[in-house]
């Protein structure tokens, strides 16, 4: 039986599944239920400094992008960090940690960019007995207007500065949570590392407007006839998050820094994808908010089955295994040639591949043969672009076949070479560096 437990920047957890800092980890009641359900850890919903509690809107704070069958594709929120009293939160954190010593309890923090503010809260957080802290430099709505959250995460110098303070004032592991609302995620990650961060977590949510009510011509969700951009999450952001995780994992300046992967994770498969691209733990929010805490049992079950089937002893063995497959475009092998192949036994003759290719790609799929409906790839036109594979409604009906070295590409008439050739050495590249 494969082991699911992990160690993440010194924090031990019975499995890699943590609940992200968000409404599900708002208070002891929820966190207790999460631990009972089997979550390996939680990142407690972001604490604010002592004083009058924050206020949230008293109207819709969530919006969703739904498929026709109302399955959730994307989700957004304008909820602020905790609106509960600091003392209450700290007492509950301490009590929960005492009751669940084997679980990871990380405390998310967001206070103004003043050293005194951080110093004051860090000592009190450490006293709870928690396992680590996460710096919320990601929240893109509300708090960012007050100079916190993503307003910090978008300025690498601030990240380094605040991370440095935290490392100075606490012995707890420091995880820096990054905002995706930047042009290049590597800069904030490097800044976190420069400040001494023990780990980074990403992504926080993406600036978003969920839609417009076409009857009232009001953006949604709206409070009193007006709305504001929220933070976007859920399955739709997963590809964005995977890329950012991989960018940091393969950046020579940050390679090796522990990464807690976040963004649209709802199943063991999603989690494994993050881990394969370098994440050491994963955090979940949206899926739990849709289905409840029980999903962790299905995630753990699937993860264990996968590791067992692959003969892997632990989650750590899988970490980063897909990273070598990620590279820059300029290093892609331009000598490889693929052709789409349609399995006629599986084809249901909907013709989507044909019309997609005909109207928008390379006119490489037939629509008839001998006057009858028939969809077949024309190798002499096919560039192997994968569009047909993606629009086909039948799994594995259309696949790409890699031509073997020595075969002739009927589109170009050239024999496929066994040698590698990327753009850096391509004869058409005036700036080629290799021969």
Partner 1 sequence: MSEQRKPDIRPGRLTAEAYAEHFADIAPPLTEAQAVLEASRCLYCYDAPCMQACPTRIDVPSFIKRIAEDNVRGAAEAILEANPLGGFCARDCPTEVLCEQVCVRNTQQGRPVAIGQLQRFAVDRLMASADNQIFERAPASGRRVAVVGAGPAGLACAHALARSGHSVMLYDAGPKPGGLNEYGVAAYKTVDDYAQREIEWLLGIGGITLECGWALTRAEQLERLRREHDAVFLGLGLADTHELRTTGESLDGVVDAVEFIGTLRQATDRATVPVGRRVVVIGGGMTAVDAAVQSKLLGAERVDMVYRRGPEQMSASLEEQELARIRGVSIHYWLAPVELLGEGGSVRAVRFARQRLAAGRLVADGEECILEADMVLKAIGQRLGNPVLTQCGLALRDGRIAVDACGRTSVAGVWAGGDCIAEGQDLTVDAVAQGLRAARDIDLLLRNPKNPWRD
Judged by the rule CB under 8 A, the positions of this chain that interact with partner 1 are 67-69, 348-352, 354-355, 367, 373, 393-394
Looking at the Cβ atoms of 345 and 428, the one nearer to partner 1 is 345
Contact 57, 145 (CB under 8 A): no
Q: How far is the CB of 195 from partner 1 (least distance, A)?
A: 49
**Considering 9, 130, 139, 285, which one is annotated as catalytic?**
139
Whether 113 is a known active-site residue: answer: no
Looking at the Cβ atoms of 4 and 353, the one nearer to partner 1 is 353
Please tell me the distance from the alpha carbon of residue 253 to that of residue 186, in angstroms, as a whole number. 9
Q: How far is the CB of 377 from partner 1 (least distance, A)?
A: 15
- Please, what's the b/e burial string for 310-329 (b: 16 or more CB within 10 A of its CB; e: otherwise)? eeeeebbebbbebbeeeeee
* Residue recorded with tokens 């110098």: 157
Phi–psi pair at 144, nearest 5 degrees: -65, -30
Looking at the Cβ atoms of 210 and 318, the one nearer to partner 1 is 210
Q: How far is the CB of 394 from partner 1 (least distance, A)?
A: 6
Helix axis angle, 238-250 relative to 268-276, nearest 10°? Answer: 30
How many CA atoms lie less than 13 Å away from 147 in the CB half-sphere? 6
Looking at the Cβ atoms of 68 and 431, the one nearer to partner 1 is 68
Looking at the Cβ atoms of 214 and 431, the one nearer to partner 1 is 214
Looking at the Cβ atoms of 115 and 343, the one nearer to partner 1 is 343
* Residue recorded with tokens 């962790």: 296
Best CA proximity match to 238, nearest among 285, 210, 276, 270: 270
Q: How far is the CB of 75 from partner 1 (least distance, A)?
A: 20
Verify cis geometry, omega within 30 degrees of 0, for the bond prior to 209.
no
Catalytic residue positions? 139
């Amino acid at each position: 039986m494969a082991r699911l437990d992990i160690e993440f920047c010194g924090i031990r957890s019975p499995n890699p599944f943590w609940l992200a800092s968000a409404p599900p980890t708002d208070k002891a009641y929820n966190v207790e239920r999460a631990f009972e359900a089997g979550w390996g850890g939680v990142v407690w919903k972001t604490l604010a400094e002592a004083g009058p509690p924050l206020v949230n809107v008293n109207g819709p704070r969530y919006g969703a992008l739904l498929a026709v069958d109302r399955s959730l594709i994307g989700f957004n929120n304008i909820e602020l960090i905790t609106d509960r009293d600091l003392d209450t939160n700290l007492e509950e954190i301490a009590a929960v940690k005492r009751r669940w010593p084997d679980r990871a309890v990380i405390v998310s923090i967001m206070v103004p960019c003043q050293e005194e503010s951080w110093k004051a809260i860090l000592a009190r957080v450490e006293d709870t007995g928690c396992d680590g802290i996460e710096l919320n430099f990601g929240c893109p709505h509300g708090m960012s207007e007050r100079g916190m959250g993503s307003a910090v995460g978008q300025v690498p110098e601030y990240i380094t500065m605040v991370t440095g303070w935290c490392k100075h004032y606490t012995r707890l592991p420091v995880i820096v949570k990054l905002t995706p609302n930047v042009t290049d995620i590597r800069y904030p990650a490097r800044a976190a590392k420069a400040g001494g961060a023990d780990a980074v977590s990403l992504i926080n949510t993406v600036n978003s407007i969920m839609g417009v009510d076409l009857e009232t011509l009001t953006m949604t969700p709206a409070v009193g006839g007006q709305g504001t951009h929220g933070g976007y999450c859920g399955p739709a952001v997963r590809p964005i998050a995977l890329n950012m995780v991989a960018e940091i994992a393969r950046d020579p300046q940050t390679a090796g820094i522990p990464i807690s992967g976040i963004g649209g994770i709802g199943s063991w498969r999603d989690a494994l994808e993050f881990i394969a691209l370098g994440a050491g733990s994963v955090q979940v929010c949206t899926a739990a908010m849709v289905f409840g805490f029980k999903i962790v049992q299905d995630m753990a079950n699937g993860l264990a089955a996968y590791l067992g089937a692959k003969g892997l002893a632990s989650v750590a063995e899988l970490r980063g295994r897909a990273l070598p497959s990620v590279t820059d475009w300029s290093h892609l092998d331009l000598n490889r040639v693929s052709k789409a192949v349609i399995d006629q036994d599986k084809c249901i003759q909907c013709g989507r591949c044909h019309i997609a290719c005909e109207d928008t790609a390379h006119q490489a799929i037939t629509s008839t043969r001998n006057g009858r409906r028939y969809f077949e790839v024309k190798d002499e036109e096919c560039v192997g672009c994968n569009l047909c594979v993606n629009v086909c409604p039948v799994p594995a009906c259309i696949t790409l076949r890699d031509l073997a070295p020595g075969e002739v590409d009927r589109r170009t008439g050239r024999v496929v070479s066994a040698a590698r050739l990327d753009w850096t050495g391509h004869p058409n590249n005036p700036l080629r560096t290799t021969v």
